[in-house]
Chain A
């Protein structure tokens, strides 16, 4: 990166205000419970709650559809694949990898949300 321009130097007159405020990270806004801090916190909360409810909805739908399906179409229970009855394949085997995958996706997304939050609040704003 040799073609990088030399660092800019700001040329100014004497400062009008003597004491400039110290550079504080944004997280202090949360401690002070300012409006901005509240927005930071609420955005994290909303994201995580949305994620959690999505995960729960996927599980509820993924599991909940089956009793209804078997209730409406009882013949489905007699279907066999490779000798296994369909209900066994679904709620005896397939359900466990499904649940783990939902959990895995959730953990990754939740950690990413938290990393975004850390990056956001650890930024130091110019006073």
Chain B
């Protein structure tokens, strides 16, 4: 098992560094009264690095390169959409969401609409989206360890959840900012350095242009075409993917939580702008791996193992110790991707579970905040872990794409209409969430449960966002108009809170019900 040594070393180092920075961050945060205040003095760059570190998941690190290798340029719409999603987030929700003081979408829904039932429904959706997103992370960890150290798939699918659980339960929200900021730069380095070497090798080889390479996958013309096929279905799939990623980003549970750590609305905008730059920098790289794979990694296409391209390519192109070193580096980056995204999701899911499920009194007894959060963590991580072990691999980027579709069909209309439209009512929000959630949810179950077909029904279900997002928006608007009497009386004050700059002294307190509390983190 000499082959495995660099991989094991890389994984161990990343794990140790993650836990160490987590502990150091914990100590740092003890000097201030709580973590959230500490993060308010940290500034936009660290915050943006943390958002980038959390956001760039296994789908970004491994999935895109594999998809570009196998399916071609059409798959580059994934990273484009994932970045454009931050523009949509920036222009429509970033500053108001921060000003609302909401820690989760559930908090936002309750503060905006004053309804416990909308809150509960949001919590259910947050948990489902979180699990759908965690599942491919854990499965990606399985194939990573399988590819680099030859361990069976279940090893990675258990190791990553366990590390996430230890890290999140001990440090909670306090330490995670530093860990995730570190992991963004680790991921960027782990992809950039090997790529520079590989490009030199390709250039020195005088190997063919990636498009012209005699690969066994799709033919060059199809590979270069940025559409999912040259027919109308291909056009629909491409547009639907763009809609899902563009509008889904703002509804992802771990993204919303991160916006809470900005000091004010203005900083939330500036942070998002830095995030845009960081993501743009990162997403230049994975497609190039896919292109080089067309020249050097044809065997992976034949074996149907596109997802491991980033991990295998250095070894395939460069032999000897240099190849091993580069492999160790990309393995470290991939592992950082699983850890940071999974930790962020675990915290977000555990947060809502701790508030709404495990924190509920049972027969008169109630868990304390921290205990409820920890119990929530266990539930948040265990269930997708079990799913990862039992469900066959669904493809990292595809499963994540479906999570975006669900978020776009539920939380995007809720946030956008809640922030900009005074006439949204709780019944309208409820109806829209149910319509969008059921529509996209059925599509997800269908796609995960049945083999891909070629009829229009199958195409519409495999990429639902293009119809489920308008459905949710329309339902919300129509039902709100029908239940006009329910518009909250203090909607004026809510709009003041969401939209006016903090420096203007205005009454922002919401009367007659609990505002989204300015919570000081969970730990």
Per-position binary interface string of chain A over residues 25-51, scored 1 when its CB falls under 8 Å from any chain B CB and 0 otherwise: 001001101000010010011001101
A70 & B227 in contact (Cβ 8 Å cutoff) = yes
Let me know if B73 and A87 touch, CB within 8 A: yes
In the complex, residue of chain A having the shortest beta-carbon distance to the beta carbon of B209: A83
User: Please, how many angstroms separate the alpha-carbon atoms of A67 and B229 in the complex?
Assistant: 11
Q: Flag if A107 contacts B235 (CB, 8 Å).
A: no
Please tell me which one of the listed residues B80, B238, B501 contacts residue A95 in the complex, with CB atoms under 8 A apart.
B80
Residues of A within 8 A of B501 (CB): 114, 117-118
Residues of B contacting A48 with CB < 8 Å?
499
The CA-CA distance from A123 to B438 in the complex, in Å, is: 50
* A5 at the B interface (CB under 8 A): no
8 cross-chain pairs, A with B, having the tightest CB-CB distances, nearest first: A96-B280, A55-B91, A52-B91, A87-B226, A77-B225, A114-B501, A67-B238, A31-B507
Shortest A99–chain B CB gap in Å is 5
Partner of B273, one of A64, A68, A100: A100
Residue B479 lies at the interface, judged by CB distance under 8 Å to chain A: no
Give A65-97 as 1s and 0s: 1 = Cβ < 8 Å from B's Cβ atoms. 011101100100110000101011011110111
Write 20 A-B pairs (CB below 8 A) sorted by A numbering: A27-B504, A27-B506, A30-B496, A45-B420, A45-B495, A49-B420, A51-B91, A52-B92, A56-B88, A60-B246, A68-B235, A71-B235, A74-B225, A78-B224, A96-B281, A97-B280, A103-B91, A107-B273, A117-B501, A118-B504
Q: Which residues of B contact A93 (CB under 8 A)?
A: 284
Q: How far is the CB of B72 from the nearest CB of chain A, in Å? A: 9
Q: Which residues of B contact A30 (CB under 8 A)?
A: 496, 500, 506
Chain A 89-122 per-residue mask, 1 if CB under 8 angstroms from chain B, else 0? 0111101110110111011001100100110011
The reply to whether B283 and A85 contact each other, CB–CB distance below 8 Å, is no
Is A91's CB under 8 angstroms from B273's CB? no
Q: Which residues of B contact A106 (CB under 8 A)?
A: 87, 90-91, 269
A122–B500 CA distance with the chains assembled, in angstroms: 12
Query: Are B506 and A44 in touch, CB under 8 angstroms?
Result: no
Dominant SS among interface residues on chain A = helix
Residue B370 at the chain A interface, CB threshold 8 Å: no
Chain A, residue nearest B81 (CB): A63
State in angstroms the CA–CA spacing of A83 and B239 once bound together.
27
* CA of A90 to CA of B495, assembled, Å: 39
The verdict on B329 contacting chain A, using a C-beta distance below 8 Å, is: no
Cβ contact within 8 Å between B500 and A41: yes
Which residues of B have CB within 8 Å of A67?
226-227, 235, 238-239, 242
Flag whether B485 is at the interface (Cβ < 8 A): no
B76 adjacent to chain A (CB < 8 Å): yes
Contact yes or no, B506 A59, CB < 8 A: no
Taking CB as reference atom, which chain A residue is nearest B236?
A67
Q: Once the chains are docked, how many angstroms separate the CA of A81 from the CA of B191?
A: 25
Q: Is B277 an interface residue (CB 8 A)?
A: yes
By the criterion CB–CB under 8 Å, are A99 and B224 in contact? Answer: no
Task: Give B277's nearest chain A residue, CB to CB.
Answer: A100
Closest Cβ of chain B to A100, distance in Å, is 5
Say yes or no for B45: interface residue by CB 8 A criterion: no
Q: Is B287's CB within 8 Å of the partner chain A? A: yes
Given A55-B91, A83-B209, verify A44-B499 contact (CB < 8 Å).
Answer: yes
Mask of B51-75 contacts with A, CB within 8 angstroms, 1/0: 0000000000000000000000100
Docked-complex contact A44 and B500, CB < 8 angstroms: yes
Pair B246/A59 contact, Cβ less than 8 Å? yes
B503 at the A interface (CB under 8 A): yes
- A118 CB contacts on chain B under 8 angstroms: 501, 503-504
Whether B315 sits at the interface, judged by CB under 8 Å, is no
A100 x B420 contact (CB < 8 A): no
Interface: B270 (CB within 8 A):
yes
CB-nearest residue of chain B to A88: B73
Chain A residues with CB under 8 Å of B234's CB are 71
Q: Which residues of B contact A100 (CB under 8 A)?
A: 273, 276-277, 280
In the bound assembly, the distance between CA atoms of A87 and B226 in angstroms comes to: 6
Q: How distant is A85 from chain B, measured CB to nearest CB, in Å? A: 5
Q: Which of B221, B287, B492, B496 has the most CB of A within 10 A?
A: B496
Known contacts A77-B225, A107-B270; is-contact A92 B499 (Cβ 8 Å) = no
Measured CA separation A59–B81 after assembly (Å)? 10
Instruction: Supply 15 further A-B pairs (C-beta < 8 A) apart from A41-B499, A95-B84, A99-B87.
Output: A41-B495, A44-B499, A45-B420, A52-B420, A67-B238, A67-B242, A68-B235, A70-B226, A70-B227, A74-B230, A88-B291, A91-B226, A96-B83, A103-B272, A122-B504
- The residue on B at minimum CB distance from A111 is B266
Residues 413-438 of B, flagged 1 when their CB comes within 8 A of A and 0 if not, give 00000001000000000000000000
In whole angstroms, how far apart are the Cα atoms of A53 and B421 in the complex?
Answer: 13
Residues of A within 8 A of B284 (CB): 92-93, 96
Q: Which residues of A contact B454 (CB under 8 A)?
A: none
Tell me if B390 counts as interface (CB < 8 A to partner A). no
Chain B stretch 259-286: residues in CB contact (< 8 A) with chain A: 266, 269-270, 272-273, 276-277, 279-281, 283-284
B149-188 CB contact bits vs A (8 Å, 1 = yes)?
0000000000000000000000000000000000000000
Most B Cβ at <10 Å: residue of A49, A53, A85, A102: A85
Is B202 an interface residue, CB under 8 A from the partner?
A: no
B496 pairs with A92, CB closer than 8 A: no
Could you say which residues of chain A place their CB within 8 Å of the CB of B213? none
- Whether A56 contacts B221 by the Cβ 8 Å rule is no
In the complex, B192 has a CB within 8 A of chain A: no
